[in-house]
Amino acid sequence: MSTGDFNIRPEDAAAMTGYSVFMIRRFAHRGEFQACMPRGKRGGWQILKPSFEAWWQAKRASSSNRK
């Protein structure tokens, strides 16, 4: 696996979660999961997939209806 397999774009993350791309970028900017802007404003955000998936699983679990 290459390092590109571990990075996802905000558009892909938005499709996985149902959030808008704007909100995914805000979450990334706040540091809720690991993300970086390796090319500055030109390349945009690259989100580390395992970190994002762990964040999304925790977010879903915190709002689930369970006893």
Write the pLDDT tens digit of every residue in 3-45.
567 899 999 999 999 999 999 999 999 999 999 888 877 878 8
CB-based burial of residue 27 (10 Å sphere; 0-12 exposed, 13-18 middle, 19+ buried)? buried
pLDDT score, position 50: 94
pLDDT score, position 22: 95
pLDDT score, position 38: 82
> Within 13 Å and on the Cβ side, how many CA atoms surround 22?
0
Q: Report the distance separating Cα 28 and Cα 33, nearest Å.
A: 6
Q: Taking Cα atoms as reference points, which of 26, 46, 23 lies closest to residue 34? A: 46
